[in-house]
Amino acid sequence: MDASLEPLKARRLALLLRERIASGEIAPGSRLASEPALALEHGVSRVTVRRALDSLAAEGLIDRRVGSGTFVREPEAPAPIVADFANMLTHLVEMGRRTGVRLISFAYAQPPETVVQALGLKPGERTQRSVRVRLIDGHPFSYLTTHVPERIGLTYSEADLASVPLLTLLERSGTVVERANQTISATLASPDVAEALGLEIGSPLLSLTRIVFGPDGRGVEHLHALYRPDRYAFQLELERAGNASERRWSPAPARGTGS
């Protein structure tokens, strides 16, 4: 057997068991099959099973009790935050007040070309770049990298950003926020992001890029947000619209406030 494949097999088994736990197929409090039984079921060695279980134990998903077996832990993390994708700007300040934040970096620098183009910056114009981790009940759920044009970033301090939602700071500076463009995809956690979010390197993440514009069409904020999918989700409510011959699904009007 090629020993170099064992970590990959362990990773695959850990992902499979994690999905079964997350979906409820293996309920909290349930006892997992023994290591020999899992090895036989999945066609791997006991070493591979042990590595996979060690990974799940490190994530706090299972308890390994000597002499008793391995049990799925009752969830300790809060229920996932569900964001209304059609009305996210309305809910950003509220979510900022409900959650905690850890500011990792705060600096002024020349942004990458993708950000220059997205915000419509002038040649040589710098941005205030920050990296923050948001937490709900002390549990990290998002890793946020934000670029704001320097002329706007100078209106707030590092201490402000560590305690006040960015959208509030933008509006306090007199910046008018009119519209935003958002793109959602998926990615894998890099070493620094994985450490900040309490995940293994390569764990799946939701990825959102949002560009916020003012009335003049110039960008006032570029956000790249990475979310733990077990602690954050996007929701879009739809309704049927159009006439009988051209019925279609359209975003439903927003109803009050949410997360």
Residues 221 and 147 sit within 8 Å (Cβ to Cβ): yes
pLDDT at position 5? 65
Distance CA 99, CA 85 (A): 18
Same fold, 3-72 and 81-251: no
pLDDT at position 66? 84
Q: Which portions of the chain are predicted below pLDDT 70?
A: 1-5, 76-98, 251-259
pLDDT at position 83? 62
Domain boundaries, the chain: 3-72, 81-251
Q: For the stretch 204-217, what's the b/e string if a residue is b when 16 or more beta carbons lie within 10 angstroms of its beta carbon?
A: ebbbbbbbbbbeee
pLDDT at position 256? 43
CATH architecture assigned to 81-251 = 3-Layer(aba) Sandwich (3.40)
**Domain 3-72: assigned CATH number:** 1.10.10.10
Q: What are phi and psi of 250, to 5 degrees?
A: -135, 150
DSSP strand E in the chain: where? 62-65, 69-72, 81-84, 100-109, 127-136, 139-149, 179-188, 204-213, 219-227, 232-235, 238-241, 248-251
How many other C-beta atoms can be found within 10 angstroms of the C-beta atom of residue 55? 19
Indicate the burial class of 7 (C-beta count within 10 angstroms; 0-12, 13-18, 19 or more): exposed
pLDDT at position 257? 36
Distance CA 30, CA 59 (A): 17
pLDDT at position 9? 87
**Contacts of 22 by beta carbon, 8 Å cutoff, 6+ apart:** 230
